Amino acid sequence: MRKTTVLVVDDEETLLHFMRRNLEARGFRVITARDGMEALHAFEQHQPDLIILDLLMPRMDGMEVLRRIRRHNTVPIIVLTALDEEGDKITALEQGADDYLTKPFSVGELLARVHAVLRRARWAESRGEEENIIRVGDVELDVEGHRAYHGGQVLDLTPTEFNLLHTLMRHKGRVLPHRWLLQHVWGEEYSDAVEYLRVYIGRLRKKLGETPEHRHIWTEPGVGYWFE
């Protein structure tokens, strides 16, 4: 059976060893890199299933690595941030990160984030059992093919973006509460992480090319969102 490959990128040798040791002990294949340039090379060479990426590194910082990978690839990415980098967390999510871990973190936190992100990615790839094609206006979702289209053009969506769009479209016309959306798209442990939802709704709106005159995702203030 093929092992899940994780690319771990951090310039702190101790932390790199900590993550590698604990992930390998749980059956993952782990590739490591110590700076941004090395990370891009390792990504191209190994095509990992998941990337754990520190934001503060020499040669090329993690934010630039994130931007470059997101231009062409939707691989799940967890970024590592320090306690005082709240702005960096939001920026990273807006640039396409799927999740973040705040240093210092425990083995339990690391494994919980890894499993949650991989679960969302695999969930997005296995939605063919319900309905194959969903259409709402000029937006079309090919669930089995894991493709989204807007006006006939393919939308470049990460697995979590696809999951969120699918959930909204499957319940079109219904207001879906913040907590309900977080639990169904991210998982029970994310039920209070409203910043994830706000950022991802913004990312979807941008990719759908929404304007005040032409909108698909609507906000019910203080309650949730619906797709029309």
State which residues of the chain have pLDDT below 50.
127-129
Give the pLDDT score at 212: 80
Evaluate whether the domain defined by 133-227 bears CATH number 1.10.10.10: yes
Give the pLDDT score at 193: 86
Give the pLDDT score at 128: 45
Is residue 40 within 8 Å of residue 66, measured between CB atoms?
no
Give the integer Cα–Cα distance in Å for 25 and 108.
13
Give the pLDDT score at 147: 87
Give the pLDDT score at 175: 93
CATH for 5-125 is 3.40.50.2300
pTM of the predicted model, to two decimals? 0.76
Take residue 155 and report the two structure tokens written for it.
């939308």
Give the integer Cα–Cα distance in Å for 205 and 211.
9
Q: Where in the chain is the domain with CATH 3.40.50.2300?
A: 5-125
DSSP state for residue 206 in the 8-state scheme: H
Closest-CA residue to 165 (of 224, 97, 117, 227): 227
Q: Where in the chain is the domain with CATH 1.10.10.10?
A: 133-227
Q: Which residues contact 209 (CB under 8 A, 6 or more apart)?
A: 150
Q: What are phi and psi of 113, to 5 degrees?
A: -65, -45
